[in-house]
Amino acid sequence: MPKDTRDAADVKSRPADAAVGKTAVLFRMALPDHLCPSGQKARWLLERQGYQVDDRLFRTRDEVDAFKAEHDVKTTPQVWIEGDRVGGYTDLREKLTGWDPKATTYRPVIYLFAVAALTAVALSIGFLGAITWQTLGWFVSISMILLGMQKLRDIESFTTMFLNYDLLARKWVPYAYVYPFVETGAGILMTGMMLTWLSAPAALFIASIGAVSVFKAVYIEKRELKCACVGGNSNVPLGFVSLTENLMMVGMALVMLWLMI
């Protein structure tokens, strides 16, 4: 616990009066059985932004309830800066950093593909001693596994988004539930270079339908949709990323089928 903290019950001054200049007032829970993580993050963010933190801790549930009633708030932590109440950690983050939870972002996809690429390189160097064409194959198959797991993490949200544009799923809803299992399973088999006769056709099937669906929705119908490629409730726009994902799967499947001949 930081040395400059003090119990909220011992503080009599009004938060707005104390929150002047670069001094911020932070009320957060530090109960015997619960140290509020959002409160810790709020203090860290304030200090990173150059604020001196007047850190006031609730030690009992009764103190928390009394504070909520007095200030008509539903949650803690609560922060005051420049004489005004900002709100909780999320509100503070929006105010100090400009973060927008609804903003379009490719960051989840970038992280996922970066992890897949580094894993593929590690496998290549570790098992083959060099980066080869197999590295590209592992990159695609590992990406399939990671993308499939993102979809399975919240399959209901995924299927809701997927039904907005996938042609087969809109005709037959169960396909939306089957898709992430097929993608993940095919990726696992392709990574291990096992049962190619099963994994390659499966990947080719779902990826071909996916590519056509995305192209139709985005480039023909000009619809602005969110991509279900990294799971439900993402802010990744449907378009280039999802189309690329499907085309990589198509290419991987065709190469593997060709090698079987």
Question: Between these two residues, 224 and 172, which has the higher pLDDT value?
Answer: 172
Q: Are 42 and 92 in contact (CB under 8 A)?
A: yes
Is 99 a residue whose pLDDT tops 90?
Answer: no
Output the pLDDT for position 75.
93
Tens-digit pLDDT profile for residues 119-168:
999 999 999 999 999 999 999 999 999 999 999 999 999 999 999 999 99
Two tokens at 124? 């290549």
pTM: 0.80
Output the pLDDT for position 101.
77
Q: Are 207 and 247 in contact (CB under 8 A)?
A: yes
Q: Are 162 and 169 in contact (CB under 8 A)?
A: yes
**Per-residue pLDDT band at 232 (split at 50, 70, 90):** low
**Per-residue pLDDT band at 98 (split at 50, 70, 90):** confident
Output the pLDDT for position 6.
78
Look at residue 55 and give its three-state secondary structure: strand
Mean pLDDT score, 216-233: 84
Nearest one of 73, 61, 52 to 4, comparing CA atoms:
52
In angstroms, the CA 132 to CA 122 distance is: 12
